[in-house]
């Protein structure tokens, strides 16, 4: 009897540990932003030696009014540090080989009911449910979260041609991203830009 009880306890303990491990693994992945980059085959970045930062936008579409003031100085510092670490030197815009531009936006949750659309009842056996299409759930959002988009563009400065770009898309949080985390995000985006 005691042996059966200990065996059952071991199974429950193992199941609990595995559940916590799975939760930690999946919750960590869910918050990681999607990142990508693209390098133009038409621009020879191997000749780049100097860079300039383009002015920051006056505001970030969809974000709080003070977003540029909050993140701007740290963003410029992060871009400078990342490019200098790759062997580039900052120069005045008129003399630089390339210019870097930072863009950002927050896209709001898409609520299809504002255009009169409704969704089916999802409670059935398959994705669309077994009920009639006309059984509706009012005010259903297509996506549950707003999305923050950060885009870095590098232009060849003489011809003003886009040479490289990288972007990140992430679900926004209720609280602002800490400034040090935003700097890390920009540095991770610039990691894919070729070193000198």
The answer as to whether 73 is a domain residue is yes
Residues 39 and 14 grouped into a single domain: no
Handedness of CA 48, 193, 99, 187 (dihedral sign): negative
User: What is the structure's pLDDT at 4?
Assistant: 46
71 plus 148 within the same structural domain: yes
How far does Cα 65 stand from its chain's mean position? Answer: 20
**pLDDT value at residue 170:** 84
pLDDT score, position 189:
94
Domain span at residue 53? 34-109+144-190
| Gap between the Cα atoms of 51 and 98, Å rounded | 5
Give the global pTM.
0.67
CA distance 26 to 147: 20
Low-confidence ranges of the chain (pLDDT < 70): 1-31, 109-114, 117-145, 173-174
Average pLDDT over all residues of the chain? 75
120 in any annotated domain: no
């Amino acid at each position: 009897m005691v042996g059966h009880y200990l065996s059952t306890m071991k199974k429950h303990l193992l199941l609990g540990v595995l559940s916590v491990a799975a939760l930690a693994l999946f919750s960590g992945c869910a918050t990681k932003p999607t990142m990508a980059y693209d390098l133009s085959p038409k621009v020879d970045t191997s000749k780049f030696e100097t860079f300039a930062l383009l002015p920051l936008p006056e505001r970030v579409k969809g974000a709080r009014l003070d977003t540029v003031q909050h993140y701007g100085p740290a963003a410029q510092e992060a871009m400078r540090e990342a490019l200098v670490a790759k062997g580039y030197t900052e120069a005045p815009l008129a003399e630089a080989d390339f210019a870097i531009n930072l863009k950002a936006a927050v896209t709001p949750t898409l609520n299809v009911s504002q255009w009169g659309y409704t969704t089916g009842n999802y409670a059935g056996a398959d994705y669309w449910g077994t009920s009639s299409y006309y059984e509706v759930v009012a005010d259903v959002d297509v996506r549950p979260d707003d999305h923050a988009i950060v885009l870095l563009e590098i232009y060849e400065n003489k011809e003003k041609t886009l040479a490289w770009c990288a972007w990140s898309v992430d679900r926004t949080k209720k609280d602002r991203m800490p400034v040090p985390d935003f700097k890390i995000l920009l540095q991770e985006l610039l990691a894919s830009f070729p070193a000198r």
